[in-house]
Amino acid sequence: MKPIEILHQYQLKRTSCREGILSVIINHNEALSENEIRDQLESHYDRTTFYRAFKTLIESKIVHKIVVDNQLVKYALDNHITQKKEHAHFYCEACHAVLCLETTPLPKPNLPNGFQANNFEYVIKGLCKKCSPKA
Amino acid sequence: MKPIEILHQYQLKRTSCREGILSVIINHNEALSENEIRDQLESHYDRTTFYRAFKTLIESKIVHKIVVDNQLVKYALDNHITQKKEHAHFYCEACHAVLCLETTPLPKPNLPNGFQANNFEYVIKGLCKKCSPKA
DNA sequence: TAATCTATTGCAACATTGATGCATTTGTTA
DNA sequence: TAACAAATGCATCAATGTTGCAATAGATTA
């Protein structure tokens, strides 16, 4: 699962910005913020370029946006690529990590009559194992 | 459940801004955005005043913030006041309404060992009854 | 390999939102 | 009603989202 192959598969031009973003995301287990990704890249890209690269990757469904808060957004590979099922995300309020809860399937509440769901965004906030006080 | 009583109960000063915000929220079944609330008020308040009023109401757990998206936040009365149980929210992608799904309890996925949850934020996006194409 | 076309980049610019300091005003309590 | 503490309005700044446009880079074809 290499960045270049993904970009080619989704018919996007191979630019170093997109390639860099993808390789950082692929090499991390947890979802990362725009700044966390930027910090891992060697080259500098304009803020707009970065912004549009994410927009493109999301529109192509390569990358998935996880909204922790209106002030904190993280990015991870989309289920289309990872072949994961829909899942909830865990946000650690101490270390601010965002993890995919892949092992537990996403529970779906019943909707009122006539309602139609397209998308489920479930974020569970708390403390991860590392940040939980030891017993 | 009157604004003045709520403010008094939570030991907050009765200011017209807080009172106005609360009365708008109380009189609507759906969660409203800051602008939707502002539009319902007769008096004008400075942006900062509005911002701080929400901050105070949230800190006192009178109002609950529902983050639909990093660009769209809505507000509703907190469960402490409505005596509702924890519930998911439905966001209609067509009319942008946010509704509480009170009737269905919030399903809680199992967490990995050592993880501790404080808060569950479940937003289901789709089309509400009014906006769903008729069969 | 070079020429060409199109998409992407970087920059300027603007809107929105979150946030803080401070002097003035208001609500509450004695 | 006086006095104090809290809230307001204004100025200001940071971060983020967004668009237009000229310059540049990637991909395709001759």
- Quick: pLDDT tens for A64-86: 999 999 999 999 999 999 999 99
Tell me which H or E stretch contains B27. Answer: none
| Gap between the Cα atoms of B115 and B126, Å rounded | 30
pLDDT in tens, B26-83: 999 999 999 999 999 999 999 999 999 999 999 999 999 999 999 999 999 999 999 9
Q: Which two tokens stand for residue B17?
A: 């801004």
- The pLDDT-based confidence of A135 (bands split at 50, 70, 90) is low
Contact assignment for A109 to B126 by CB distance below 8 Å: no
Task: Please give the span between the terminal C-alpha atoms of chain A, in angstroms, as a whole number.
Answer: 40
Among the partner-chain residues B69, B108, B129, the one whose CB lies closest to the CB of A112 is: B129
Q: pTM of the entire structure?
A: 0.94
> What's the pLDDT score for residue B105?
81
Q: Which residues of A33-63 are buried (b: 16+ CB within 10 A; e: fewer)?
A: bbebbbeebeeebeeeebeebbebbeebebb
Q: Of A88, A119, A129, which has the smallest distance from its Cβ to B109's Cβ?
A: A88
Cβ of residue A107 closer than 8 Å to a chain B Cβ: yes
Burial class from Cβ neighbours inside 10 Å (0-12, 13-18, 19+) for residue B31 reads buried
Would the CB atoms of B114 and A132 count as touching at under 8 Å? yes
B51 touches chain A (CB under 8 A): no
- Using the structure, give the distance in angstroms from the CA atom of B76 to the C1' atom of C28, rounded to a whole number: 28
Phi, psi at B13, each rounded to 5°: -60, 145
Tokens of A95: 């270390």
% helix / strand / coil in chain B, to the nearest 5? 30, 25, 40
Average pLDDT, chain B: 95
Largest CA distance in chain A: 52
